[in-house]
């Protein structure tokens, strides 16, 4: 074992000891979250590695995706797996259940993500005994990775990315040996871009395990229930021929930018409808409440309120509908990007729906997606610095149908060019480098 690996093991042993010591505090924290409604009311034991489902016999693949975005990125790969290997059992773990659970193919198991403590991870892995584990994006949990490696379980990191902030932190003398050690335990890393691949090599991921397939977030799916489709069609009827634009995934403070633009546009187009979709539903309720106190007529989605004449603002305070809602608007402004400290959101769903796509400049790792789309067609994504540039762009779009149509066409064409074959590529790489060997073991 080399010097870096020895230091990595030392740092890991310290992490393992600390995670053992703080386990009681983490359990109290989970109970507090349950009281606040942030954890499932009856499935809290799953977070401690205790199962609520029976493990079926036979090989099992575990997909671990903590966030909603990671979960949605995992689903197309899971569906491809079900398509080619229906004999395999598949387990998906997430921190949230909304949306993701409704998108899963029949037979795929769901549990809440176990916390990364020795007891929880040992209990989880002993019970589910997976043949291979697919982690999404940047989920490098030391106990999960080290215990899995010790048990001989194959590991893959899909849509792998590391933010610049994390890269600097992980490159620091204290953490670098640990990160290097963790990455050495993987059989496959699929970075979401070539730059991310370089980052992982600089963190000493073995070069031969890095393979490219494309960004899984381009794999936008539009599976919807009849009820969801009926709801969207009903909204289309309510909107009629009014001018419409959407501000999606906005964070606190960004609503002031969007509402300022709305005010200017409404002076020119009195029947304008602005659709506001905050990143978090509670933020939507807060926005609606504030606007109502100011005397403005607002329609709130969770209350099933209609977009009637005189109502110019529609606030969506629900989860999981965004990719369908984009079909209502010719223009989508993607939030989480207008203030320093923010890191952008996925623009591909809006592009797939044929929207003219705008975003700010604080976009984090989504900068690679913007560059790729702009490289294919400079009109596919427009970045604006703030309220004034956004106003100018919106007025131009609404006053010149040809300009707007060119933007819409460009974004959709760029999306289709970039999304073509991504899931098939990811499946082929995953099967060749991980699953083939993992399933041969007959675990």
Show which residues are catalytic: 70
Do 104 and 92 form a contact (C-beta atoms < 8 A)? yes
Distance CA 166, CA 406 (A): 38
Phi and psi at 250, nearest 5°, equal -80, 150
Rg (CA), the chain: 23
Q: Which residues contact 439 (CB under 8 A, 6 or more apart)?
A: 59, 88, 131, 132
Residue identified by tokens 């620091």 is 172
**3-state DSSP call for residue 277?**
strand
Where residue 107 falls (left for φ over 0; alpha for ψ -120 to 50; beta otherwise) is: left
Do 33 and 91 meet the contact criterion of CB atoms below 8 Å apart?
A: no
Angle between helices 281-293 and 254-268 (to 10 degrees): 50
Q: How far apart are CA 51 and CA 43, in angstroms?
A: 9
Give the C-alpha separation, 246 to 353, whole Å: 13
| Start-end of H helices in 57-114 | 68-84, 100-103
């Amino acid at each position: 074992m080399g010097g870096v690996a020895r230091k990595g093991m030392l740092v890991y042993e310290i992490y393992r000891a600390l995670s053992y010591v703080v386990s009681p505090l983490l359990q109290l924290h989970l109970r507090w979250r349950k009281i606040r409604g942030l954890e499932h009311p009856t499935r809290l034991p799953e977070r401690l590695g205790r199962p609520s489902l029976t493990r079926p016999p036979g090989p099992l693949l575990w997909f671990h995706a903590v966030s909603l975005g990671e979960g949605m990125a995992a689903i197309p790969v899971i569906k491809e797996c079900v398509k080619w290997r229906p004999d395999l059992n598949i387990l998906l773990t997430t921190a949230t259940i909304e949306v993701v659970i409704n998108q899963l193919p029949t037979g795929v198991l769901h549990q809440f993500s176990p916390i990364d403590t020795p007891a929880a991870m040992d209990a989880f892995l002993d019970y589910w005994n997976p043949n291979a584990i697919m982690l999404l994006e940047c989920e490098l949990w030391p106990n999960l990775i080290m215990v899995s490696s010790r048990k001989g379980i194959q590991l893959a990191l899909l849509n792998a990315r590391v933010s610049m902030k994390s890269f600097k932190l992980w490159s620091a003398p204290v953490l670098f040996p640990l990160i290097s050690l963790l990455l050495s335990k993987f059989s496959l890393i699929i970075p979401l871009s070539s730059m991310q691949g370089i980052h992982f090599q600089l963190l000493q991921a073995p070069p031969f395990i890095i393979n490219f397939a494309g960004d899984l977030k381009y794999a936008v799916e539009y599976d919807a229930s009849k009820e969801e489709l009926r709801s969207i069609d009903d909204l289309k009827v309510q909107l009629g021929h009014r001018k419409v634009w959407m501000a999606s995934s906005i964070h606190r403070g960004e609503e002031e930018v969007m509402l300022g633009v709305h005010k200017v546009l409404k002076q020119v187009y009195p029947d304008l409808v602005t659709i506001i979709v905050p990143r978090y539903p509670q933020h939507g309720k807060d926005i609606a409440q504030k606007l109502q106190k100011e005397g403005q007529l607002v329609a709130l989605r969770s209350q099933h309120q209609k977009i009637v004449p005189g109502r110019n603002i529609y606030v969506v305070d629900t989860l999981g509908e965004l990719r369908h809602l984009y079909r209502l608007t010719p223009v989508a402004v993607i939030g989480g990007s207008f203030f320093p400290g923010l890191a952008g959101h996925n623009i591909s769903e809006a592009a797939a729906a044929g929207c003219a796509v705008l975003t700010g400049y604080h976009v984090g790792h989504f900068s690679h997606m913007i560059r790729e789309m702009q490289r294919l067609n400079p009109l596919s994504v427009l970045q604006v610095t703030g309220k004034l540039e956004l106003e100018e762009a919106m007025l131009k779009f609404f006053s010149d149908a040809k300009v707007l149509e060119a933007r819409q066409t460009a974004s959709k064409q760029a999306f289709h060019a970039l999304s073509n074959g991504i899931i098939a590529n990811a499946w082929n790489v995953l099967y060749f480098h991980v699953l083939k060997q993992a399933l041969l073991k007959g675990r």
